[in-house]
Amino acid sequence: MQKSSYLTLTALCLGLPFTAAFSLAANPTTLADFQALAAKSNSQLVLPTYPLTPADIKAQAENAIKNADAAFDALAAQDPKTLNFDNTFAAADAIGAKVVDVALVLGTVAESSTDKTMRDTANDMGVKLQEWSVSLDYREPLYRALKAVADTHPKLDAEQQRLMDFQMRSYRRAGLSLSAPDRADVERLRKDLAGLNTQFAVNINEARAPLDFTAEELVGVPQSFLDSPGVRQPDGRYRVMANITWHAQAIGENADNAEVRRKVATARSNLAKETNTAVLSKLVALRADIAHRLGYANWADYQTETRMAKNGATAVKFEEDLVAGLQPKFAEEMETLRQLKAAQTGKPDAKLEAWDISYYTNKLKKEKYAVDVEALRAYFPYQATLNGMFAIYQRIFGLKFTEVEAPYVWFPGVKLYVVQDKATGTPMGAFYLDMFPREGKFNHFACFSQKAGGVMADGRYDLPVAALLCNFPAPSADKPSLLKHADVETLFHEFGHVMHGMLARSRYAGQGAFSVPQDFVEAPSQMLENWVWDKSVLDTFAGDYRDPSKKLPAETIASLVAARQATEGIGERRQLSIGLLDLNLHTLSADDAWLADVVKIVNDTTARVSVAPPANTFWAAYIGHLAGYDAAYYGYLWAKVMAIDMASVFKASPNGFLDETVGMRLRNEVYGKGDTRDVGESVEKFLGRPRSMQPFLEYVGIKKQ
C-alpha cells in the first residue's frame, strides 16, 4: 500500500507543470508529499511493513531467511574469475541488511503489540533470526568467496577497505582462519562458554536471601516499605529480601541500626557466592583459553578489538587514570560521610564501612541538598517539553520535523514525523513516537531503529526510520502529563539516538549509526543529557504549566547540580571498581587464568578503588554483567567521559548548548559519519583537539587546577 501510493504520487508529479511540482516540494504536508520530494533527491522514503497477524510475522521472518539464504548461495556460487568487491562484500552487506530490517520490525512488535500472541510470535521469530545470523559466520562457501577477493588485495576506497577488513576480522574472530581441528576445539569451547554464561545468569536469578527483622530493628526505614506486600510476616517481624534491589536499598539508605545494614549488605554481597564462585573461575579460564587459541594475549584484547578501546591495556589505563583523577573528590566525599558517622555515633575516629555509604549519602542529601523533585514536575508538561526539545534539535542540527498522518500505527496515538534538512528541504528519514504506557508494552524508554538507511542497488538512498518507545505519565483529568527532570533528561538522551539514526549517511548498511563500537554508541546521547542542566536551554521551554511565564529558578538548577555532585566521586569510583575488576579478571593470560584466585582479585580491586566489601563475601558472583557484558563494563564510563568532553565544546561556544555552528560540526563529523570511519577520528575532528577527561572531572565537581 505504501509502495503503490508512492508510485502514484511520483506519476502525478511527473504530470504536473514545473511550478506546481516545485510548490508541492516547497511546502510538503503529507507523507506522500515527502515521498515525492525524496524521489526528487535521489532517495526513497518507504516505511517498514508492519505485520498484522502472527502468520504475517512468521511469513516475514521465514521469507527473510529464505531469500537471504538463496542470495548468499548465489553469491558463493559465482564463477571465481568474476568475483570482485561489489559482487561479494558489498552484496553480502546488502543481503544481510534486509534480514536486519525484518528483525528490527519484529523486535518492535515484540515490545509494543497489545496482543500477547503477536508479542510471543515476534519474540520466537526474533530468536530464529538471531540464530540464523550467528550461523552466517560459519558458511564456508561464502567465506571462501569473500576470502578469494580479500586475498587479491583489491584497490578500494577507505569505506570499502573498512567493510572488507571488518568482515574478514569477524571471520577470524569466529575461528575460520584456524585449521579444521583447531576450529572444532574453539567451537566446542564456545559451546561450553555459552552454557556457563547461562549458568551464571540462572544462579543469579535463583539467588534468594530473606532476612527477618523486628520493627525496632528497622527504625528509620520508611513506613511505605514496611507496608509493602509480602514484607510483614505472620510473626510480626518484617522480611527483607536482600536479593531485591529496592529492598536492599530501603534498608541500606534508611535503617539507623548499623548492624541491620551490615547484615543486609553482607547477605547481598554473598548472593550466588556458593554457586557462582566456581562458575566465574571457569568462565575466566575458558575465555582466556579461547582468546589464546584465536591469537589474542587475553580475553579483554579479544573483546575490545572491535571497540574504540581496541585493546585491554588501553581500557585499563583509561580506568586507572580516572581512578587517580577522581581521588581528591572521592577522599573529600568519604571524609564528609565519615564525619556524619562520627557525629551520629559520638566516636570521632569512626571508620566508614561498605554498609554506611548509602545511609550517610542519603542523610547528606536529605539534610543539605534537599530538592523536591516532585514539585519540579510542574515545569515540564509533556507537550511543551517535547516541542521545546524538537525546537532545540532542529536548531542545532539544521533540521525540520513535520508531523504527518501515518498509513498505519500499531496503537492509537502513535505519531509519525518526517525529518528534512532545513537548508535544502531534502527528506532525511522518519520517526514514530509511542510515548505513553499500556499493558504489555516495553516498560522503559528506548529508541528502536525500524530500518537502517543505505544506498540501494540503483544508487538511490533508502531513508532510515526509527521509533521511540517511552512511558511518560499519562495526562489526568485535571493535569497534563507532567515529567520529572530525570524524565526530561531521558527524553533528550533517547531522542539523541533517533537523531543519530536520521543523520548518519553510509553507503553500506554495516557502517550506519548503530554499527558504531559498543563503547561509543551511547556517547552522542549521553552528551545531550547535559542540555537539561543548563538554564538557558531550560528557559526555552520549561515553565509552570499553570503559568508558563514562570521559569525554573537558577537556584533550583544549582541545587540539582549540587545534589548530583555531592557524592558523585563515590558513585563513579564504584563504577570504576566494577570496570576494573572485570578487566583485571579478563586481562589474565591463558596460563595465569587457570590458577587465578578470582575472589582475591575482585575483593582487592574493590577495596582499592571503592570501599572494601563486607568480610568473607564475593559480590562479583551477583554481577550479571560478568556473563555477557564481560570485559565491557568500562564502556559505560568510557562513553560518559567522552560525552561530557563533547558537551564541553558547546558549553564554551558563543551560544552555548544552542550553538548552531558547533551543532552542524557535530552533525557533519560525528552523527553523519556513522561507522564509515574510525569513531575516535570523528570525535577528535569534532573536538578539534585530542580527547580529554578534564571536562568530566569538572562535571564531577573537581575545579580546574
Alpha helices in 504-567 (DSSP H): 523-529, 535-538, 554-566
Q: Considering beta carbons, is residue 356 or 494 the nearer one to Zn ion?
A: 494
- Measured distance CA(256)–CA(8) in Å, rounded: 72
First to last CA, the chain: 63
- Measured distance CA(283)–CA(269) in Å, rounded: 20
672 contacts: CB under 8 Å, gap ≥ 6: 503, 504, 505
* Catalytic, out of 111, 333, 494, 568: 494
230 contacts: CB under 8 Å, gap ≥ 6: 239
Q: How far is the CB of 372 from Zn ion (least distance, A)?
A: 28
- Measured distance CA(667)–CA(661) in Å, rounded: 10
Q: How far is the CB of 128 from Zn ion (least distance, A)?
A: 27
Q: Considering beta carbons, is residue 497 or 673 the nearer one to Zn ion?
A: 497
Q: How far is the CB of 681 from Zn ion (least distance, A)?
A: 22
Q: Considering beta carbons, is residue 132 or 445 the nearer one to Zn ion?
A: 445
391 contacts: CB under 8 Å, gap ≥ 6: 540, 541
Q: Considering beta carbons, is residue 97 or 447 the nearer one to Zn ion?
A: 447
Backbone angles phi, psi at 402, to 5 degrees: -130, 130
Q: Which stretch binds Zn ion (CB under 5 A): 126-134, 201-209, 217-225, 515-523?
A: 515-523
Q: Which stretch binds Zn ion (CB under 5 A): 15-23, 121-129, 472-480, 519-527?
A: 519-527
394 contacts: CB under 8 Å, gap ≥ 6: 400, 401, 422
Q: Considering beta carbons, is residue 72 or 531 the nearer one to Zn ion?
A: 531
Is residue 510 within 8 Å of 435, Cβ to Cβ? no
Q: How far is the CB of 639 from Zn ion (least distance, A)?
A: 9
Which residue, 456, 407, 449, is CA-closest to 5? 407
**Contacts (CB under 5 A) with Zn ion, residues 169-188:** none
1 contacts: CB under 8 Å, gap ≥ 6: 407
Q: Which stretch binds Zn ion (CB under 5 A): 5-13, 25-33, 518-526, 690-698?
A: 518-526
Q: Which stretch binds Zn ion (CB under 5 A): 63-71, 163-171, 523-531, 550-558?
A: 523-531
Partners of 239 in the β-ladder: 212
525 binds Zn ion (CB under 5 A): yes
- Measured distance CA(160)–CA(152) in Å, rounded: 14
| Nine cell digits for residue 174 | 569466529
DSSP 424: T
Q: How far is the CB of 79 from Zn ion (least distance, A)?
A: 46
449 binds Zn ion (CB under 5 A): no
Element (H, E) at 234: none
Is residue 109 within 8 Å of 410, Cβ to Cβ? yes
Q: How far is the CB of 584 from Zn ion (least distance, A)?
A: 27
Q: How far is the CB of 472 from Zn ion (least distance, A)?
A: 16
Q: Considering beta carbons, is residue 467 or 552 the nearer one to Zn ion?
A: 467
Is residue 337 within 8 Å of 445, Cβ to Cβ? no
Strand order in the sheet with 43-44: 43-44, 461-462, 454-455
Partners of 404 in the β-ladder: 416
For 304-324, give the secondary structure using H, E and C. HCCCCCCCHHHHHHHHHHHHH
Element (H, E) at 488: helix 485-503
Q: Is 555 a catalytic residue?
A: no
Q: Considering beta carbons, is residue 288 or 499 the nearer one to Zn ion?
A: 499
Q: Considering beta carbons, is residue 142 or 644 the nearer one to Zn ion?
A: 644
- Measured distance CA(284)–CA(291) in Å, rounded: 11
Q: How far is the CB of 630 from Zn ion (least distance, A)?
A: 20
| Nine cell digits for residue 245 | 534491589
Q: Considering beta carbons, is residue 203 or 515 the nearer one to Zn ion?
A: 515
- Measured distance CA(616)–CA(274) in Å, rounded: 12
Q: Which stretch binds Zn ion (CB under 5 A): 8-16, 328-336, 455-463, 516-524?
A: 516-524
| Nine cell digits for residue 647 | 558537551
- Count of residues that interact with Zn ion, criterion CB under 5 A: 2
- Measured distance CA(65)–CA(383) in Å, rounded: 41
Partners of 431 in the β-ladder: 417, 466
Q: Which stretch binds Zn ion (CB under 5 A): 127-135, 408-416, 514-522, 694-702?
A: 514-522
Q: Is the dihedral of CA 655, 681, 496, 314 positive or negative?
A: negative
Is residue 434 within 8 Å of 414, Cβ to Cβ? yes
**Contacts (CB under 5 A) with Zn ion, residues 215-254:** none
Q: Which stretch binds Zn ion (CB under 5 A): 114-122, 522-530, 582-590, 624-632?
A: 522-530
Q: Considering beta carbons, is residue 111 or 659 the nearer one to Zn ion?
A: 111
Q: Considering beta carbons, is residue 110 or 523 the nearer one to Zn ion?
A: 523
Q: How far is the CB of 96 from Zn ion (least distance, A)?
A: 24
| Nine cell digits for residue 423 | 537548508
Which residue, 60, 43, 64, 42, is CA-closest to 51? 60
Q: Considering beta carbons, is residue 172 or 625 the nearer one to Zn ion?
A: 625
**Contacts (CB under 5 A) with Zn ion, residues 573-592:** none
Sort 399 into a burial class: Cβ within 10 Å, 0-12 / 13-18 / 19+: buried
Q: Which stretch binds Zn ion (CB under 5 A): 22-30, 120-128, 504-512, 521-529?
A: 521-529
Q: How far is the CB of 696 from Zn ion (least distance, A)?
A: 18
Q: How far is the CB of 493 from Zn ion (least distance, A)?
A: 6
| Nine cell digits for residue 299 | 580475553
Q: How far is the CB of 169 from Zn ion (least distance, A)?
A: 26
**Contacts (CB under 5 A) with Zn ion, residues 74-133:** none
| Nine cell digits for residue 12 | 502525478
Q: How far is the CB of 467 from Zn ion (least distance, A)?
A: 14
> How many DSSP H helices and E strands does the chain contain?
29, 10
Residue type, 423: A
Q: Which stretch binds Zn ion (CB under 5 A): 178-186, 244-252, 520-528, 687-695?
A: 520-528
Is residue 397 within 8 Å of 421, Cβ to Cβ? no
Q: Considering beta carbons, is residue 299 or 633 the nearer one to Zn ion?
A: 633
Which residue's CB comes closest to Zn ion? Answer: 525
Which residues are tagged catalytic?
Answer: 494
Applying CB under 5 A, the residues found at the interface with Zn ion are: 522, 525
